[in-house]
Amino acid sequence: MTFLTPTIRIPVVKALKWRPGLPAILPSWFFIGSVIILIAVIIIVTVKDLNRGRDIEIQTLLEKSTVLIRAFESGTRTGMGMRWRHDQRQTLLEEMAYQPGILYIAITDTSGRILAHSDPDKVGAQLYTPQEMRDLHVAQTEQWRITPFADEQDKHQSAFEVYRFFKPLKRMAGHRMHMGSKRPDTYWSDDIEDEDQDRNVIFTAFDTSTLEASQAKDIRNTLIFLSILGLLALASILSLFWAKRYQRSSRQLQDSKAFSSEIISNLPIGLITTNEHRQISVVNHTAEEILGHSAIGLSGRNIKQALPDSWNQLAGSEHNHQPVIEREIDYTLTSGQTIPLSISVANIVNNNGNFLGNVFIFRDMREVRQLQEEVRRKEKMAAIGNLAAGVAHEIRNPLSSIKGFAKYFEGRSEQGSEEQELAKVMAKEVDRLNRVITELLELVRPTDLRIQRVNICDVIEHSLHLIRQDAEAKHINILFKAEPGLPLVDIDPDRFTQALLNLYLNAIQAIGNNGTVEVHLSTNAASELQIIVKDSGKGIPADDLTNIFNPYFTTKASGTGLGLTVVQKVVEEHQGKIGVTSQLSIGTRFELTIPMKHSPSTQEASDHGHP
């Protein structure tokens, strides 16, 4: 893949002298912003003044209502002491409600039924429903709200309504009653006598036309003021029109720089550019990740100091430099790790042919190398399968004899005896070994897995049972820890047992004598099954760690080099993955991760007759 043309030409010489993060200074926009902020402040202050005037009007109405309620309570207490008749107290209520601006005065019980009203015809009716009364949350102190109101002509308007519990008897508490009476006189209706007077509610409603007229006047004056202010702001903005046109070219340049910056920052490949003095000017995010250096640490430095010598050699001279396309080199990170890179280098020149700098484009080749290694591994497996096909029958013949002798001893042993059980295990293991050998001899061909839903703990315990005798003979402790409540998993128990046995045997051979083999079973954050096999052996050298899954790679004198290859193939057949970490003199840790449910592949589905 080719990244560069022979020469990169920049139409504007100063384009590469731009540095990200330097905003353009535009006095006109600064002025417009100041005007907008000033207008916003004035609007906020005006709105606050409007609200303050409204609050004063509401406070005035609330105080009038409070005085009216208390005056009526005082008159009621006086009438009780003087034993007024019903018509006298009704007259008091009507006279108080007859004052200008008062719409009505009413007393209700907690269910909203009217006990007394400035309009006598409404006594006994419902002022509000019980649910509406509960929503009011009546308290001992005055509360207010603005509510719709329909007068006698059915003209709809708003009412400023104040309400609280009605307490006409509170002032008489603790005083002797007049005339030796046992209780003060009641209200002017039998209904009020039967009610709990401490739970009655008094309502007063004032006409809000004055409040609305005052607020409308304030809003009208405010709109006029804001309109004048808007015209002044518009005139200021129009006065800057020619200045903005003068700055248009500068703004377009800034947009181009921002556009270029976004493209460079989001490129999936590393990019570094220099200026005419060979100083690094631009480093994108991908380059930071690949090289392990920050853009701040590289910017402004000469490439001879900041980049390896091999890169400087590729950059060449300013004159007659031929671009370098897709050159593979090794780069050493600060951690000491060496990674492969594919790098392309070219000069940057303007329309006049003047040298402006270099551009380095590179990408990490580790993933490509891994894919190449995977292809080679598959080819090796295919070679193993072709080689093994010629000796398959030579291996199966001895296994058939062993199985025959196992069946013979099984038949000659007593029913349920240990000898019979051992013979059954021997026959079963011969069958499994025969199948494993067959599949090992055909590594390149898909394996017909016999997926079953099993308890993975039982599979692991069975596999550990098979090597426990060898481990005890070498004084090696076997520890098995499983996360509680693990669900059943879809695996081929025979194939998976073979993979686990290969790991156990490698661990025992790595330990030698006196050590520990640990098996941990759990689920990870992706709800996948995670099996960790850890030993306290001598460990694997770093140079060998990348080759342990290759066929025929072994450090043992008697090893075949196929054990871990089989393990990897079994894990991949179960749609999982395997990883390994090792430290010399400390031990090795294999981590197997497989999904809980096996999803049939396209080949498996066709083999079973599914579309």
Per-residue confidence (pLDDT) for residue 491, from 0 to 100: 92
84-98, 184-198, 386-400: least confidently modelled range: 184-198
Per-residue confidence (pLDDT) for residue 605, from 0 to 100: 52
Contacts of 98 (CB under 8 A, 6+ apart): 118
Place of tokens 């199966």: 396
Residue 281 clears pLDDT 60, i.e. is over it: yes
Q: Which of 81-85, 91-95, 535-539 has the highest mean pLDDT?
A: 535-539
| CA–CA distance, 282 with 261 (Å, rounded to integer) | 9
Per-residue confidence (pLDDT) for residue 18, from 0 to 100: 40
Number of residues that make up the chain: 611
Per-residue confidence (pLDDT) for residue 93, from 0 to 100: 79
Helix (H), strand (E) at residue 267: none
- C-alpha distances in Å from residue 227, one per residue of 49, 172, 219, 607: 17, 60, 12, 80
pLDDT confidence band for 250 (50 / 70 / 90):
confident
CB atoms near residue 94 (< 10 Å): 14
Per-residue confidence (pLDDT) for residue 373, from 0 to 100: 79
Per-residue confidence (pLDDT) for residue 192, from 0 to 100: 46
Per-residue confidence (pLDDT) for residue 426, from 0 to 100: 84
Q: Which of 135-139, 227-231, 305-309 has the highest mean pLDDT?
A: 135-139
Place of tokens 């006086």: 78
3-12, 251-260, 514-523: least confidently modelled range: 3-12
Per-residue confidence (pLDDT) for residue 83, from 0 to 100: 63
Q: What's the average model confidence in pLDDT over 288-308?
A: 84
- The three-state secondary structure class of 122 is helix
Place of tokens 């550990």: 464
Helices (H), 302-417: 303-306, 309-315, 366-388, 392-412
Place of tokens 């990019």: 271
Residue 126 clears pLDDT 70, i.e. is over it: yes
pLDDT confidence band for 526 (50 / 70 / 90):
confident
**Token pair of 594, please?**
């497989």
Residue 182 clears pLDDT 60, i.e. is over it: no
pLDDT confidence band for 447 (50 / 70 / 90):
low
Per-residue confidence (pLDDT) for residue 516, from 0 to 100: 93
Which one-letter DSSP state was computed for residue 279?
B
pLDDT confidence band for 454 (50 / 70 / 90):
very high
Contact at 8 Å (CB) between 297 and 40?
no
Residue predicted with more confidence, 220 or 454: 454
Per-residue confidence (pLDDT) for residue 481, from 0 to 100: 93
| CA–CA distance, 512 with 470 (Å, rounded to integer) | 11
The per-residue pLDDT of the chain, averaged, comes to 78
pLDDT confidence band for 518 (50 / 70 / 90):
very high
Q: What's the average model confidence in pLDDT over 289-297?
A: 84
Residue 177 clears pLDDT 60, i.e. is over it: no
Q: Which of 28-37, 211-220, 318-327, 513-522 has the highest mean pLDDT?
A: 513-522
Residue predicted with more confidence, 439 or 561: 561
- Residue 435, burial from CB neighbour count under 10 angstroms (0-12, 13-18, 19+): middle
Per-residue confidence (pLDDT) for residue 5, from 0 to 100: 39
Contacts of 430 (CB under 8 A, 6+ apart): 399, 402, 403, 406
CB atoms near residue 554 (< 10 Å): 17
Give percent of the chain above pLDDT 70. Answer: 79
The pTM (predicted TM-score) of the whole model is: 0.42
Q: What's the average model confidence in pLDDT over 364-374?
A: 84
Per-residue confidence (pLDDT) for residue 27, from 0 to 100: 58
pLDDT confidence band for 191 (50 / 70 / 90):
very low
- The three-state secondary structure class of 83 is coil
Phi, psi of 559 (to 5 degrees): -80, 155
CA 110 distance to own-chain centroid = 51
CB atoms near residue 339 (< 10 Å): 15
Residue predicted with more confidence, 409 or 591: 591
pLDDT confidence band for 529 (50 / 70 / 90):
very high
Residue predicted with more confidence, 124 or 246: 124
| CA–CA distance, 382 with 388 (Å, rounded to integer) | 10
